[in-house]
Structures are given as structure tokens and as C-alpha cells.
Structure 1
Amino acid sequence: MDFFSHIQMDNKKIVYKKLLRDHMLEVAKNIKLNTQTIFKDEIWSKAGFIVGATHDFGKYTTYFQDYLITGKSKSNLHWHSFVSAVFGAYITIIHTKVTDNPLYDYLPLIAYFAILHHHGNLSSFDNDVVEMQKLSSYNFELVDSRMREKLQLMEPQLENILIHRETIEAEYQDILGNINLLDFKGNWISVLKELHRQKYKLQKENEDIKLKLNTFFLFIYSSLIDNDKRDAAEVRKIKRKHIPEDIVDYYRKEEFNIYETHGIDGVRNDIYQKVSKKISEISLDNHVFTLTAPTGTGKTITAFSAAVKLRERLKLYYDEEPRIIYALPFTSIIDQNFSVIEKILENIPDFQSDKNAYIIKHHHLSDVGYQVENETRPLDESMLLVESWDSEIVVTTFIQLFYTIIGYKNRFLKKYHNIANSIILLDEVQNIPMEYWPLVNIMLQNLAKELNCYIILLTATKPFIFNESEAIELLENNQEYFDKFNRVVIKPHLEEIGVEQLAQKFCEVYNQENSYLIVLNTINSSVEFYNYIISKVKSKGNKIFYLSTNIIPKERIKRITDIKNCLENHEKIVVVSTQVVEAGVDIDLDVVLRDLGPIDSIIQVAGRCNRGWDANKCGKVYVFNLKDDIHYSSKIYGSISCKASANLLEKNILQEREFYHLIADYFDSVKLMRGIQQESDESQKILNAIYDFRFCDDLGMYDSVSDFKLIQDNNYVDVFVQVDKDAVGIWNRFDKEILHEKNFKKRQENYLKLKKEFKSYVVSVPEKFANEFVRPSKNSSIFLLPYGNLKDYYDKNTGFNRNLETIFIAM
């Protein structure tokens, strides 16, 4: 009998099939190669090979083979992950009996856990490793119900496998050598008892061993799920590409006056040269760097050039070119940074034909198309290549990066192994919540130590994530650049004021000869302010723009482009926004009004004022203290951060040259007010979960890795807004081609085709408002705001109407 790992049916005919032994062997070889490349350890590489060679062992049942063809099963005997996981642990025990390294003792436990979850998200050792005494109970009655069923299926599954014992053992002969399925059937409970013993022993190990083992586990797990999916889909391999180390130098020579020594261009040239020199001389024993420079001084291009030059040095040293991962806090600023890097790469001769082999953009709104060798790969293949970061340069979000480094979900973790040997650029890293800074410090240093990553933190407001002994500053004497700038001044007005009062004051002093940026902390306050001033601005003949996550992404992107075009044409405009403009949005206005917030956020938004350093003027940033029932700033940032900011700003007019010390004073003040212990506690909870392999706890009994959240959702839901006829058409396609498509593969392909357009009409709104909207199905995670109801719930200027109580009452 032939056993298959994957079969595709079309009109009840087999159109594709993959032999099980071939699939497992291919996956095993790739995991072993990945593991040996990074860890240089024969035993760990052997363990990786075993994981690949056993991960689908349970597919040797006729129950699963019948399920492959029919898609139906009368029982759960076709389940294959648990029996495969126990078999993987059994083989690992036999093949990795080495005593000279304590880490080797836990390889069976690692193999078991990786295989058990290779089709889903990670759980925890607490849930998945059965206690010895419970294994001895009659019919496993003391075991949790979810695990009990898996245990009860083992005997009939193994009886079924033994029917074809000779065939299976012969197939494994070429992969693992001699195996004895009768012995496995007789000892599988003993294997589970050994796993419990290993779990208990691991709990007593020190944190260094636990973290090292966790890193190895995630690498093996990631390599397994990525290679499993690639081999099943027959994804063709992508050839690595070389990027010339002087590619940015050439670009700058073509685009800029690189000999300018004065003004903002002179500063940018000086910083570029100094950082280039530093990165070319620094010892490769150093793995963590910072690049701290004022806003608008060309950090994106300078940092990318440093990464490319470092990449060339590492190639000569390790004989392998590392990937460059460029992570930013918000999707709203990815496009402009991606465009800059893309333009730099256009000087490479084969870039247009092999574009995505060189660079990809990965976030929830990005395309999944992958172009290489003048061909756009099929959508399912493209998705696997993009989501596993199979490219020389990856431009992505903090969400994608940190939910992989500190994550539990299958779809995030399948790229973990491709982070190894990479250069990671973290732009505006201070946007990570402060309570996670100790955690981020440890996890980034762990990447550097265990996976040979090199990390560069880019910021204008140097956060205290790494101290001076832990990171090398690439721009020496950077304070002199802060000292020489006089582009902007901060003028605090911290007496409490309401939104309407502030809007009135703005209207009184508004001068159409200036451009203005108003940044408020909440969507409600920003909409209220916008509605109050719109007639005043338009009466002067100027344009006014509203920006926040309250408007659909499609419109938000368009407005950022329109704003830039107006400014390039020297039009005087008004922009009312939330914090979406703080980091990285390259716009330059004359006057900024900002609601009170953390000092680093205030300085970030100040970077949108007189950004080009017009020597004939000084930009002004006014900081106000808005309040209704409580301060708007406290709603978003908490009282401690804002109180620290208020204390530092009170009665002080601050020049830009003072920002460097102001930032340091702010972080010191917050630490003192919060208490170092509170900050450490939040990080320590996640670290303890990492040490104890508690990735997710469905019952909520323990702290787990899944508790790590860069963005608090606060009971928000996604709503598709039919703002125009195009949106109506897209929703109709979604309904027909996805919601009502029964074939899973076609449904997936249809979604990938539609994803970017579909997501561009989605906003997140408080769940309390969504009850009035259409829910396509009982379990749907997306709601619909139909075109016919648009005027009641969505404003074309300010987006979703969050003042709906009156509407609900009227209805």
C-alpha cells in the first residue's frame, strides 16, 4: 500500500499526491540543514532531522488515508499530530542518548511539543505533558478531557498502523534506520512518563538554560511548520541575492548634493559619513547598536546603508549574507520607507525581474504577490514566501517582528527561523510600551547571542532599553547635533482646557499664511476639534485634512499623499490628527498644537515642524492640557507618564537644543514615579512564561506568552465600511467567493486575491457600536456597515461616527 501525506482532489479526481515518506524525508533534511547552519551542533541537528522525519507518522493509518481522499471521517481516528508527537519523542530518546550537555536531556520533550502543535498555535507544557499518576488511571479518567481523547485514540491507531508494519518499517529504514513499531506500541505510555519527568526536571534548571532551550524549540518548531507547508505546496526555492555594499552611496550621489556642508543637508551628509565609517570599523563581536540623531536627519537612509555595509562584512566573516529586517511601529509609515529602499535597489541590474527576491513588504494590508525571475508566483506560493520572510530585505511592523520573537501563533512563528543570522533595524523603538522594555532587552540580546543577530535601534528619543555597556552608539558625540539645531521651540500652556475652548482659541489666532498640525490624543477629541474649525479654515480658502485610524486605510493613505503634495506645492494647510503622524510620516508644517503626552511623543511630533530647517523661521509647538471628565492624555498614556511630562514642561519654553537632556530627564522621572519594580513585574510575567514554556493558557489560570500585547484592543471589532460603489463590489465578491465558497483551497486563494482591497475598507471600532451592523454569519469576526446606512454611521471627512447614542435612541 502507498501512503500519502497530501492529496488534492478536483471533481472527485486526484490531481496531485505526495508520498508520505518523500514528504517527511524532505522536511527532515531541510530542518537539519537549517539547524546545523545556525547552531553548529550535531546532536541538535539530529533532533531536528527526527522532528521532520516523524511529524506526520500518524498519517500511516488507513483512517487518515481514507480521510485524505474523502475529506470525511466517522470518528477522530484520522487525527495524526498526537500519535506523531509521541513517536517523535520515542525516536528522539533512542537517537540522542548523550550525557555531556544538560540541554540534550530535553530533546524528546522539544520534539514532542513541536510535532504536537505543527498544525496549530502553541499551548503549554502544563496542558500537553500528562502527569505520570494520571496516565495510570483507568481509561485515563483523571486526564483533562481534551488530552484524554487523544490518549484513548492511541491504541486503535497503533493497531491499525501495525497492519502495515513491514511496509512502514521498510520506508523508515532509509530515513532513520531500524525502527521497531511493536516496541513503540508496547512503550508509548512509558515515553509520556519520561516526558513528564523531563518537564519536572526542566522546572528546576536555571533561566539561561530555559531560555536557550526555548530559543532552540522555537527554531525547530518554526523550521518544521515552514518546511512542512512549503513541501506540501511544492514551493520553489528562491536563490539568494547579493546587494552591493556601496548601493546607498551610489544612490545618494545621484539624488543629493553629498558635498554640501551647511544646513540640514550638511548635517545629513556628516551623520551619514560618520556612521558609515563607524560600521566599517566596529568589532563584529558587538551585536547591538544604537543610532540616535534628531528627527529629519536622514536616519532611514543612513541606517540602511550601515546595514548593507555590515552585511558585506558579515558575509566575508561567516561566508553567508544575512537578511536585513527593517521594522517600524506603524503600517502608516511603512510605505514611504519601503519606497525609499526600493528606489535605492533599482540600480541593481536584475532588480525589476527579481524584485521580491530582494525586498518584500509584510503587514496586514500588504500584497501577498511575490515576483521573481519575471514571474509572479501563484498566490498560495507567494503567501508562503512572504509570510516566511524569504527575501534579502523585509520591511515590516513591530507587530510582525515582536509577535514572532515573543509569540505563540503558528502564522507568526513560521518565520522565526529566518530571523536567525539577520540584521534587524528597529525604527522608533520607544513606541514599545515601557513596561516591556526589560523584556525586549532580554529577548533582543538573546537573538544576538543564540541566533547570531545584529540589531540597530534608530531613534531621535533614545529610550532606556539598553544601557551604554550593552549597545554601541554608531553616531559618536551625537549630542552635538541636537545642540546645533534651532528649528523648533516648545511652548507649554498646561492649564486645563476643553476641546471647544482650544478650538475657539485656534480660530482666534489662525493665520492662513501658516500651515498647522494639530495632534490630539483621542479620536473623539480630534473629530470634535475638526468639526469646530473646518468652516473657519475653509473660509480663508485653505484646505483642511483629518487623519486618524477612524477613517478607512484607503482614504488615510490617499490623504497622506495629498498632504505631501500640498506641502511640496507650498500650499498652506491644516491637518487635524491623532498620534498616527508622530513617527516617520515625512511632513513639514509651520505650527504644531499637541495635547499633553509623553515627552518622547511630543518631541516626535515636533519633528513634523520646520523639519527642513528653514533658517529664517523657528517652528512653534504648543502643548495643551485637554480635559473633559478626566484628562485626555491620561486616557491614552496613563497618569504617570503625563504627570512626568507636565512637571518637566511646566512654565518652561524649550529650545530644540534642550531636547536631548529633556528626554533623559523624562525617562528617569517616569522610572522613579512608576517604580522600577512595576516595570520589571510586567516583563517578568512574560519572561517566566517563556522559561516555563507557557505559550498560551486557554483557561486563563497562568500568565502566558499570549498576554504580551503591543496594542491593547479594548474590545474593538473590525467593520467593513461600504463607503462607495467599489466597496460594495468588493464586499459582494467577499460574500460570494469566500463566505459561500465550500472548497477550502479556492476560498483561501480567493481571499488572498481580495485581501489588500478588502482590508483597505476595514476600520476597528468599539464593540458596543457593532451590534447595529450586519454580521455575515454567527461566528464571523467581521461586521458590515452597508452603503445604504452609511450616512448615519460614517462621515466622509472624519470617518466612523462614535457619537451614536442619539442615533440609537432615535431608532
Structure 2
Amino acid sequence: MKSFNSFEELSTDFQNLYDNLPNQDWYHGHISEHKEPEKLSTHIERVTKYVLKLVEVNDLDNVADKLINNILSNSPVIEHKFEVGNFIKQLFIQSIAFHDYGKINPNFQADRLKNRHFQVDSKIKIGTHHSELSTFVYLNHFFPVIESKETFSDDEKNYLHFISIFFANPILHHHSNYLDSKINFETEIVQNLWQFIELFSINISKGHSDWFFMRNNKGQNENIEVYKDRFYDYLKKDYFPLFALLKLNYSLLTAGDYLATNEYMAGIPIERYGLLSDDNLRNKITTKFTKSEKFQNGKDNYNKALYENFDFYRNLKFENLHERNPENLNFLRQKLTTEVVGNIRKHSDKKLFYIEAPTGSGKTNLSLAAAIELLENNAELNKIFYVFPFTTLVTQTFQAIKNTIGVTNMEIIQLHSKAGFHSKNNDGDYGADKLNYINNLFIHYPITLLTHIRFFDILKGNDKENNYILHRLSNSIVIIDEIQSYNPNLWDKVIYFIVNYAEYFNIRFIIMSATLPKIDNLFNDFQGKFVHLVENRDQYFLNANFKGRVNFSFELLDKFSQPNTGEERTKYLQNLKIFLTEKCQEYSKNNNDKIKCLIEFITKKSASAFYEILKNDKQFEEYEKFIISGDILEPRRKEIIDELKAPKSDKYVVVSTQVIEAGIDIDMDIGFKDRSIIDSDEQLAGRINRNAIKEQCTVYLFDFDKTFWIYGKDDRYKTMKELSDIEYKDILENKTFDILYNRVTLKRKNLINDNLNTACEYYDYFKKFNFAKINQEFRLIEQENESIFIPLLINSKYFEGNELSFLRELNIFPDLNGEINGEVVFDTYKKILKNVYSDFTLKQIDVKIISGIMSKYSFSIFKTQKELLSGYFDAGENCNYGYLYLLNWENVYSYYDGFVSKEIIEKDVIL
């Protein structure tokens, strides 16, 4: 049963103020060279049409009702809950209708819209702006309307005055890049804009209007500030619902405005919104996953046997599955899936789930099984979001999902900077490209894969582009992988947003990892809200088929002490090389003279030093030797990964930095790791014997670089230093990660509960509606990045078909060796940015495509490290386009090895 009237009902249940305007047909909403001007009234109607459609397809009446119900429940002064709630919803929807009323500004009409009915009036103090006037009209209209409500108490009226001020913010900022919560009209502007209140015949006296906007000695509109202060007294706790309600309003206003403008400018009405509500699509996904004989890649679909023999796998006894062999491993995977599915069926009404599953158990398949079961049991769910810490994981899982459930580019999209422009078709039609651009911008796809950073920017951000998407989160399934990959200082913020959005936006969150911190323990109110879909966690983790996948060896920690001097470092690396040689020989001797060895260092400097030792050692002449670090370009990484998956040689050794942990899809035989934090050590182990079918696979931990340089501020590192050697080994060997995480979360919980500590200050920003701080103080990556562009040659086989077509249209072709020149690509990028396009959307499409191409030639460093390399970059024109352009790259950089200049490597910039 609904709590309040619907937005559609409320949108027709008020006087259209626009009807009061004399000569209303004179006013334009937009103009185009190719068609008649759009009437302002038509634009307002279109915006309302799109907003109501977005409300309908995303079930946003229910979202708004839940948020408003909570706001009112926390306000003891509210006596007429239904009436006040309805009025809040009316303020919400009317703020959208009012957002462009300010376009009646004759300066805007004459100058911006070339409207011959109007002339520029220099006496109007807001120039050609219109958002300020829209805001002024909205507030002046509702001030007397609220005051006229005889059934409302004075407290309720004060309450609604604040809400009207609150919803005026998106109007004021709908053409800004960021949403703010500050409204402040200067007295001169107030007096100057009064003429438009008269033009609209708004029923407010000039005295009341002047009083409302009266300024104090601090330069603020005093009564607006008074209403804000009173509201803080009315709303005693839990400011999140009001924060989310305003973000939702901003999302719908800006999205509706964009879609309506697009319909006029491009002539493309949006009719499909990318939902899983289509029964045919839902059935296709379910059938492909549960009943088809083959996956898209032609391999057998093991899920078919699982669903046909569900009870058999569910009832398998753990004691019969201890022997380590491929059959038992597959039985365990199937049993684990039935446990996840069974618990979803039992708790399908719940919203928060954990999947804690060992490496090699098939987490992607587990999450798909859980998502499909949620879709089967909850008809209102109509979108799936997959959220990953790294773009490599996004790309890999994108292909895996398409293969497993048979979806196409019409139904799934990956969102990240390297993905370029996602097209549902490849016909090169500009109309289709424009529609694809809209679908990309608003992610009108049933299944979306994106990064942690982008996802949490949508939840918390106050920028326009991320808020475009917020409304789409309603009635969705969100699967978050590797939640532990960020600093524990952020975990409380992560869980705060997850729990609240789940509750109000009807989102099902599935958090999964092999090393899963129980972050709900950070707040007493959230504890126990998550359903553990794997109840028998230890039965899987400690089973020999998973636990025996990789053995940890600590002998190097006892054998060699951490070096301090340059001489000690050189000697250490030589000894490490000897040890690694022995272990490689041992493994290859027992495995048909084949070996794939991985060794990870914390820094590029150390990795390069060891890589050079191996390259110059005769014992490794028969080995293929690769280095993977932060300065290795994406095509080269793909080249290495492809070769490791389809080996051309019998013996490989890969030297890497910690980027190897970022979802790099390789399967090695033995590993060596400079230990850092336990999460990182376990992540490296995840690159060894990934399928859990090989024997004698070991990770040898050593202690070379000082971990403090990177993790000194991380609570996991601080807590790990408090562990005994026995506890450290036990956590890695027996997967008892809770020993570490429980201590970390307890420390963080104590800080949050300490009101004198800065850890709890973040939640005060919600009370003050400080949107900028809410966004800025929750950053998954603290340091900003700079991109380095390397203008070398890259083989065209690493380009997508639409990228090559795009380049061909610009007369850019591969050379005789099939390679594309980075210098030409960069020049093309500059031309696109500088060119004046008649159609903004087409320029944005070209920028998106060329940016995806540029990513093949570039990698990132921290902005703070830029100065260390400043002498190597072009300081001329090429520095003005968002990239650090590497000059004379042949002298300092290699496609195969990254930076080769000793001077650069010694600076230890690239991790």
C-alpha cells in the first residue's frame, strides 16, 4: 500500500504557473539550426514526461515514499504525516517543473536563443542566466502557498519552508557541474527580480518576499538560515534519507532535462530504458544459465547438471570429499553453488548478502547463480550491477558473463576509461551513435560492470554526471567484489552507504571475496543485517581441494634478513635468485620439465633489479622472461597474459610489482612474494594454481623492501605488526582472516564511537548537507593520478573493430607491420578536442572513442610523483591536453620492459 500520492497524481494536482504568463508562446526552450524553435512550455512538458517515465520504470514513488516516511518519523513536530508527506512530494516534482521558468529572462531569450520577440535589457542584474530566476520564482511561489495551509501547525510550516529551500538547490545548480546546498540572493538581485514575480502573477506581497530574502550582517539571507537552523532541531537523527532524497531529485531533474533536450535537438525520443523487466530477456538468461547444454564458448555448461541434480549436490557429505582430486573439487564447487542458491531461496526477501568463497571455487558463477535466483524470487528487480576494484576484472568478467548467460552488447556494458565507446551495433549510423551515446551516459543496459570508484561516486558524489545515474540503482542487484581492497579507514563509509541505499532504494547487495571483512560489525545498528550465503565456510576453505591449492613457505623469512644498505640489497637479490632457481628446477623436474614461476616485489625499482639479474643469468637462457609493472602498457600486458594462457615455451618466469594482484588473469605454478599485508599476500597466491588442479604449488614469502613505505597508514599493516609469527602463518595457511579483520574493525569501531575523534566527523556532514565534503572525504584512492602517454607503435590486433573503423574514417591506417603510430593518435586526439562540432553529442562520441584508443598508449602515476619526472615530458603544446607526453621515449622506455632508464627507475616512481 502506498504511503502518499504518486508523482503522476501530484504533477497534475497543481496550478500550472506558466499559464499565467502573457504571450507565453513567445518563449523558446531551445533552438536549432535545423528546425523550428522549441517552445518553453513544450520543453517543460517533455521534462516532466521523462521524469514521470523514469519514476515509473524505476519504481521511484516507493523510494521517495520510504525516504519521506523516515524523514517524518524522525521529526516529532509532524502531526499531519500524510498531508505533509504529500506536500513534500509535490515540492519535489514541482521543483522539476519550475527548473526552467527562469528562461523567461528576456536577456536569455534574446542573447542565447536569438528570440526576436525580446531585446537585451542591461538593467536585469543576472545577465543571461536563468537558474537563479527559476529558483527565485519557485521559492516566492511556495512561501505563501505553505503559509496558507491552515491545517498545518507553525512547526509544520517551518518544516516545509526548509524543504522548499532544500529542493530549490537542484534548480539553482542544474546547469552547474556540482550540486551545492547554498542559496544566497543579494538584495539588489531580489529587488531586480521582483518584476518576474509580478509577471507570473504569484500571490505574494513584495514585503513578504523581501522579508524572506532579507540579508544579515554575514551577507546571508537571514530567514533562509533561520529555517535551516529550525530544521536541524526538528530532525533529531538520521540525515541520510534527506540527503538521498535531494540527490534523487537532482538525478531526475538533470536526467529528465537532458533526455528532453535530446529529443528536441537530436530528434531521438528515448523509449527503452535497459531493464530486466522484459520476461523474454529474464527467461533467456535463466535458461542459458540453468538449462543450456553449452556456454557461448562451446564448453559444457556444468550448471545444467547442478540444477537437474540439485538435491544430490546439496546433500553431499563433506567427509566424503576430503581426498584431493578433480572429481571432489567439482563436487565441492557444485555443492557450494547449491548452498548459495538454497540460502537465497530461504532469504529472498533480505537485501544484504555475503559470499565468502575460496579462490578456485568460481565466484563469478556463484554470483550469477545468486543474482538469477534473486530475479526469480523478486519480480520488481530489473537491473544488475557488477562492481570491481580494477578495470582488468571488469573486462575479464564482462566476457565471462556474456559467455555464461548469452547476453549481447544490447544487454550488457562495461564502464571505465579504457572501454572506449560501447555500441549496441556497428552500422556507423550517426543517429544510432547518438542513441548509443545516450544509452552509455545513462547506462540504459540491464547489466552494467563498473569500478568501485565509479560506483561509490554515484552513491556519494555531488557531480552531475554521476547523479544522472543514481535513479537507476532502484530495484537493482549490486554485486561487489573484493571489498577489502581499500583502506579500512573507509570501510565504515562503505557499509554506511550500502546499508542505507539497500533499505531505501530496494537494492540487493551481494558482497563477495575470498578474504572478506565483516564490515557490518562497524556499527551496532548494522550488525547481523547480512545473510551469509555460505554458512559452512570452513568446510570449504579447509578442505584439501581448496586449502591444498597453494602451500605457503616461510623459510625465506628465516633464511634472509631484510637488507638495509645497497650492498646488502644486491647480495639479497643474488641469494634470492639462487633459491628461486632451485625451486624452479625442482618443480619442472617433477612436471615434464615445465614451469611457470611468478615473483612479486613491492616496487618497480626492486622488480627491475631482479629482472636484470635473471636476463643476464645463463641458467635462465631457456626461460621466457617477462616483467609486469605499472608502466607496462595494456597491450603488452595482454600479450604476456595470452602467451601464458597458450604457452609457446616450456619455461616462464614473470617478475612483477603489485599490479599483478589487480585481477591479472594468469595461472602460475609457483610464486615468490615480498610480503606486505595479508590481503596482498593472499591475492598473489590467487595467481597460483587458480583452477586448483595442480600439485606441489607453493608461494615463498620473503622480506626485501620496507612495507611501511606503502602501507604505513593502513590499519591492516598496523594490526599485522601486532600479530605473532604464529598468528601470521595461521591466517595465511588456514584462511582465518577474521583474526586480522576483527581486530581492524574493532579499532575502527572504537574511533567512530569516540565523538572527539575525526572519524565520526564525516557523519556530521550529512546534518549540515555539506555535499562537497560528503564526496571529498570519502575517496577510495586518496592520491590523484596523472596519465603518461608513450607515442610508440602498437599492433592493430589490440584495437577493437569500431576503433579501427574510426581511425580509417580519419585516414589513419596500420603501417606495413600492422602497427599504429602513437604520435598520429595523439595528434588526432588534439584535433578532436580543438575542433568545433556542429553537434555536441557527436563530439562527445569521438572523444569517447579516441580516449579508449589513447588508453592503449598510456599508464598512470600519482600526481605527487609528477615532479620527479618533469624533465622527461613535453612542456610545450602537448602538455595542454590532460596527458604527460613522454619526449624521446626511445631513450628511456621500452614497450617490453617499461622504463629502462636507470635514472628514472632509481626514482622509484612506478609501482
- TM-score normalised by structure 1 residue count: 0.83
Q: Paired residue for 1:220?
A: 249
1:683–1:332 CA distance, 2 compared to 1 (3 A):
farther
Per-residue deviation, 1:425: 0.5
**Which residue of structure 2 lines up, in the alignment, with residue 708 of structure 1?**
778
1:794 aligns with 2:819: no
Question: Which digits, 9 at most, give the CA deviation of each residue in 1:575-598, with x for residues without a partner?
Answer: 222333325433221111122222
Please report how far the alpha carbon of residue 796 of structure 1 lies from its aligned counterpart in structure 2 after TM superposition.
2.0
Between stretches 477-486 and 514-523, larger displacement belongs to: 514-523
What residue is the counterpart of 2:383 in the other structure? 323
Which residue identity is paired with 1:504? Q
C-alpha separation in 2, matches of 1:803 and 1:570: 30
Counterpart residue number, 2:532: 473
Partner of residue 39 from structure 1, selected from 46, 64, 76: 64
SS in 2 for 1:515: strand
- Structure 1 range deviating more: 538-547 or 386-395: 538-547
Matched with 2:202 is 180
Tell me if 1:723 matches 2:792.
yes
Structure 1 residues 190 and 679: CA distance shift in structure 2, 3 A: closer
1:38-70 CA-partner distances (Å, limit 9, x unpaired): 324644442232121111122111211233246
Deviation at 1:760, TM superposition (A): 2.6
Determine the structure 2 residue equivalent to 1:148: none
Q: CA deviation at 1:776?
A: 6.0
Residue type at the aligned position of 1:275? V
Residue identity opposite 1:266 in structure 2:
F
Q: Work out the CA distance in 1 between the residues paired with 2:763 and 2:194.
A: 39
In structure 2, the partner of 1:173 is none
Query: What displacement does 1:490 show?
Result: 1.7
| Other-structure match for 1:210 | 239
Q: Which amino acid aligns with 1:710?
A: L
8 Å CA contact 1:590–1:619 kept in 2: the answer is: yes
C-alpha separation in 2, matches of 1:453 and 1:486 = 37
The equivalent position to 1:691 in structure 2, one of 736, 742, 767, is 767
Identity of aligned residues (%): 21
SS in 1 for 2:646: helix
Q: For residues 202 and 108 of structure 1, what CA distance do their matches in structure 2 show?
A: 12
Q: Is the 8 A contact 1:598 1:637 kept in 2?
A: no
Residue aligning to 1:305:
369
Q: CA deviation at 1:115?
A: 1.3
Q: CA 1:527–1:108 in structure 2 vs 1: closer, same or farther (change >3 Å)? A: farther
Aligned to 1:236, the other structure's residue is in SS state coil
Q: How far off is 1:426 after superposition?
A: 0.5
Residue 273 of structure 1 aligns with which residue?
Answer: 338
CA shift in 2, pair 1:129/1:639, >3 Å: closer
Q: Which residue of 2 aligns with 1:6?
A: 30
By how many angstroms is 1:729 displaced? 1.6
Q: Please list the CA deviations of residues 735-792 of structure 1 after superposition, one character each: whole Å capped at 9, or x if unmatched.
A: 2221354768264343123121123322223220235422565993623425x61123
Once the two structures are TM-superposed, the CA of residue 647 in structure 1 deviates from its matched residue by 5.2
Q: Which moved more, 1:241-250 or 1:329-338?
A: 241-250
Shift of 1:335: 0.8
Provide the secondary structure at the position in 1 that maps to 2:553: strand
Judge conservation of contact 1:718–1:763 (CA < 8 Å) in 2. yes
> How much has 1:486 moved relative to structure 2?
1.3
Matches within 5 A, 1:592-631: 592-614=671-693, 617-627=695-705, 631=706
The residue that corresponds to 1:237 in the other structure is 271
Q: How far did residue 415 of structure 1 move? A: 0.8
Tell me the TM-score normalized by structure 2: 0.74
Matches within 5 A, 1:45-56: 45-56=89-100
Structure 1 516/499 Cα, relative in aligned 2: closer, same or farther at 3 Å? farther
Contact between 1:90 and 1:184, CA under 8 Å: does it hold in 2? no
Is residue 496 of structure 1 aligned with residue 558 of structure 2? Answer: no
Residue 394 (structure 1) shift: 0.8
Selected match of 2:627 from 538, 546, 550: 546
Judged with a 3 Å threshold, the aligned counterparts in structure 2 of structure 1 residues 162 and 256 are, in CA distance, closer, same or farther, namely closer
Structure 1 residues 23 and 525: CA distance shift in structure 2, 3 A: farther
Unpaired runs of 5+ in structure 1? 141-150, 170-178, 697-702
**Cα distance in structure 2, aligned partners of 1:380 and 1:419:** 23
Change (3 A) 1:21 1:536: farther
Q: How far does the alpha carbon of each residue in 1:167-199 deviate from its partner, in whole angstroms, 9 at most, with x for none?
A: xx5xxxxxxxxx528858972661555432232
User: Is the Cα contact below 8 Å between 1:428 and 1:583 reproduced in 2?
Assistant: no
Shift of 1:304: 1.5
Question: What pairs with 1:348-747 in structure 2 (closer than 5 Å)?
Answer: 352=408, 355-356=409-410, 358-371=411-424, 378-467=432-521, 469-484=528-543, 485-492=547-554, 493-494=556-557, 495-497=561-563, 500-508=570-578, 509-510=580-581, 511=584, 513=588, 514-536=595-617, 539-566=620-647, 571-582=650-661, 584-614=663-693, 617-627=695-705, 631-636=706-711, 638=713, 641-645=716-720, 648=723, 650=725, 654=729, 658-661=733-736, 663-671=737-745, 676-677=750-751, 681=757, 683-696=759-772, 703-713=773-783, 716-724=785-793, 725-741=820-836, 745=840, 747=843
Q: CA deviation at 1:679?
A: 9.7
Aligned residues: 743
- Contact kept, 8 Å, 1:435 with 1:682, in 2: the verdict is no
1:639/1:752 Cα in 2 relative to 1: closer, same or farther (>3 Å)?
closer
Mapped contact 1:87–1:184 kept (Cα < 8 A): no
Supply the distance in 2 between the matched residues of 1:189 and 1:67 (Cα, whole angstroms).
32
- The RMSD of aligned alpha carbons is 3.5
Post-superposition offset of 1:281: 2.3
Q: How many Å separate the matches in 2 of 1:672 and 1:193? A: 44
* Letter aligned with residue 122 of structure 1: Y
User: What is the identity, as a one-letter code, of the residue corresponding to 1:278?
Assistant: N
| 2-structure distance, mates of 1:67, 1:214 | 36
Structure 2 residue 99 is matched with structure 1 residue 25: no
Bigger drift between 475-484 and 79-88 goes to 79-88
Distance 1:390 1:88, change over 3 A: farther
Provide the secondary structure at the position in 1 that maps to 2:520: coil
Structure 1 residues 685 and 791, CA gap change in structure 2 (3 angstroms): farther
Which residue matches 1:196? 225
Bigger radius of gyration among the two: 2
Offset at 1:710? Answer: 0.6
* Deviation digits for residues 355-414 of structure 1 (CA, Å, limit 9, x no counterpart): 33x211111222333427989764454333223222111111001111111212222221
Amino acid at match of 2:257: D
Residues 362, 396 of structure 1: 8 Å contact kept: yes
Residues 122, 695 of structure 1: 8 Å contact kept: no
Cα distance in 2, alignment partners of residues 556 and 95 from structure 1? 64
CA distance in 2, matches of 1:807, 1:600: 27
- Contact conserved, 1:583 with 1:605, CA < 8 A, in 2? no
* CA–CA separation in structure 2 for the residues paired with 1:756 and 1:422: 28
Shift of 1:807: 11
2:767 and 2:343 mapped to 1: Cα distance? Answer: 36
Q: Using the alignment, how far apart are the partners of 1:590 and 1:575 within structure 2? A: 11
* Pair 595,479 (structure 1): closer, same or farther in 2 beyond 3 Å: same
Deviates more, 1:61-70 or 1:776-785: 776-785
> What residue identity is the alignment partner of 2:334?
N
Q: Please list the CA deviations of residues 7-57 of structure 1 after superposition, one character each: whole Å capped at 9, or x if unmatched.
A: 23xxxx454643222222222344355242532464444223212111112
Find the partner of 1:249 among 261, 265, 290: 290
- Name the CA shift for 1:639/1:462 in 2 (closer, same or farther; >3 Å): closer
Provide the C-alpha distance between the structure 1 equivalents of 2:787 and 2:251, rounded to a whole number of angstroms.
29
Which residue does 1:147 correspond to in 2? none
Q: Tell me, in whole angstroms, the C-alpha distance in 2 between the residues paired with 1:802 and 1:205.
A: 64
Distance across 2 between alignment mates of 1:339 and 1:608: 19
